[in-house]
């Protein structure tokens, strides 16, 4: 389909521009009106895509926007089938929320899988389909110069908007819901605090943060705003970043736990209809044109408190491989996340404010919080002893990797060694050059003696970097 004649891309325009283009479209010919009626009255749309996204990043981008031609962004549910067999959907949000969409997606996936299991693959590819079973007709549109001008402006606006955005994904597989529950905290609230800490480290303040809370337990219930920020969460972020050496691990841990409890309690209240944002929004919209607006609706603090620089929501469904949306304010981020049993997944979108960088801060925040909650009961010298033990093992692995090997042998530990240096820090752990099998066995013995949690950090997340860059706040200042 030519972009210059794409009707769907008009739906990517600003609403006033789309209204003007739609009026022009209807006036060109009666055939246009009929084709548009069919599009707008359909239950859903199907897009057969020519691209084959493979990574999370590619798949997210393809579902999020594609090239704009194969989309009708006003449609609540548009099924996307890609050339490599992957499929997803793009939907306009005003009609439904995630609960409804996921029920529909689950039904779709189960039906497709049931059909494929009942019919042999060879039969699917060679099955004869009669014309009556697959009656397809093209929706014809007529064009004039004015309509083509609207389409070109829509194409330009779409391309400018896409270029002005950055989408980044984080697949965090160091731990997930099971491990967070062992820390005796809410997994969702744990992730919410990680986002606040990541944002604080990047921008130096905690922003107004929106998390969607479902009110589906009520007739016609949709959502309420769960406000993630509290006095405790702000104080904790400042304690972690601004003056980390002035407070103990125990103090930081207790403050984090209280912030998590606050978030969990407020989310539960919102789900019961006891939130504040939908109530205040309804009151504001209920004002008559001749009524004076109450001062709260123009109060700078109130306005700032609902300028959602972090717009977040969680869907953790096994059928999902990725999902996300855009930011809700120009200077903010849209953060979609999934909490799996042993992993956490994030999709971050912004107007090039540093989505990829925020993902890196998120990864660091998650690791720091895990370290904090699992080590708060320990004394500094105990933590330092474990750090020294891990550093010794990492240094031994580095030395082992430097032993000359045959070309067919893999270089074990080369990635970890890239993060080491020749400073006095690594010299502190220098041992005799291990050039025999006994040295290798010694390293394995050291690994077995390490606490399991530190083993995981060392081998899965390169603790050498974590120690050097993130552990400074865990120990009191030596100056």
Residue of 93, 205, 279, 377 with catalytic role: 93
431: which DSSP letter? -
Neighbouring residues of 95: CB distance < 8 A, sequence distance ≥ 6: 76
68: left (phi > 0), else alpha (psi -120 to 50), else beta?
left
Nearest to 99 by CA among 384, 316, 245: 316
Structure tokens at 161: 């908007």
Structure tokens at 353: 């404010």
d(Cα 324, Cα 334) in Å, to the nearest integer?
8
- Are the beta carbons of 346 and 357 closer than 8 angstroms? no
Annotated catalytic, 93? yes
Nearest to 6 by CA among 65, 67, 52, 64: 67
| Cα angle, residue 182 at apex, residues 178 and 188 outer, rounded to 5° | 60
Per the document, the length of the chain is 479
- Are the beta carbons of 194 and 371 closer than 8 angstroms? no
Q: Give the catalytic positions in this structure.
A: 93
């Amino acid at each position: 389909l030519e972009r210059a004649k794409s009707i769907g891309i008009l739906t990517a325009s600003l609403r006033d521009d789309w209204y003007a283009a739609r009026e022009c479209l209807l006036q060109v010919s009666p055939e246009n009106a009929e084709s548009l009626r069919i599009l707008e009255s359909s239950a859903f749309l199907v897009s057969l895509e020519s691209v084959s996204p493979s990574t999370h990043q590619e798949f997210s981008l393809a579902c999020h926007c594609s090239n704009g031609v194969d989309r009708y962004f006003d449609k609540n549910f548009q099924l996307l089938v890609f050339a490599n067999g992957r499929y997803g959907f793009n939907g306009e949000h005003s009609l439904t929320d995630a609960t409804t969409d996921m029920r529909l997606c689950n039904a779709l996936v189960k039906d497709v899988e049931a059909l494929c299991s009942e019919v042999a693959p060879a039969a699917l590819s060679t099955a004869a389909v009669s014309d009556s079973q697959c009656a397809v007709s093209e929706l014809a549109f007529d064009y004039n110069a004015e309509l083509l001008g609207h389409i070109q402006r829509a194409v330009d606006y779409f391309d400018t908007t896409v270029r002005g955005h950055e989408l980044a994904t984080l697949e965090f597989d160091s731990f997930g819901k099971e491990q967070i529950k062992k820390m005796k905290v809410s997994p969702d609230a744990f992730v919410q605090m990680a986002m606040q800490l990541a944002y604080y480290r990047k921008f130096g303040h905690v922003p107004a943060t929106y998390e969607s809370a479902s009110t589906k337990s009520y007739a016609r219930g949709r959502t309420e705003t769960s406000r993630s920020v509290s006095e405790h969460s702000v104080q904790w972020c400042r304690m972690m970043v601004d003056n980390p050496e002035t407070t103990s691990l125990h103090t930081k841990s207790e403050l984090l736990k209280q912030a998590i409890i606050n978030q969990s309690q407020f989310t539960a209240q919102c789900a019961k209809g006891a939130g504040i944002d939908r109530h205040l929004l309804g009151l504001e919209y209920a004002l008559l044109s001749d009524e004076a607006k109450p001062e709260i609706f123009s109060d700078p603090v109130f306005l700032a408190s609902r300028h959602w620089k972090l717009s977040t929501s969680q869907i953790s469904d096994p059928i999902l491989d990725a999902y996300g949306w855009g930011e809700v304010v120009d200077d903010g981020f849209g953060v979609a996340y999934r909490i799996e049993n042993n992993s956490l997944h994030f999709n971050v979108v912004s107007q090039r404010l540093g989505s990829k960088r925020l993902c890196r801060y998120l990864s660091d925040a998650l690791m720091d919080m895990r370290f904090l909650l699992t080590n708060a009961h320990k004394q500094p010298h105990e933590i330092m002893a474990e750090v020294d033990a891990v550093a010794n093992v990492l240094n031994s692995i580095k030395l082992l990797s430097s032993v000359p090997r045959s070309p067919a042998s893999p270089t074990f530990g080369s990635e970890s060694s890239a993060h080491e240096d020749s400073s006095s820090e690594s010299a502190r752990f220098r041992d005799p050059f291990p050039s025999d099998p006994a040295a290798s066995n010694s390293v394995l013995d050291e690994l077995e003696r390490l606490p399991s949690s530190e083993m995981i950090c060392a081998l899965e997340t390169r603790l050498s970097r974590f120690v050097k860059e993130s552990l400074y706040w865990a120990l009191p200042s030596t100056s």
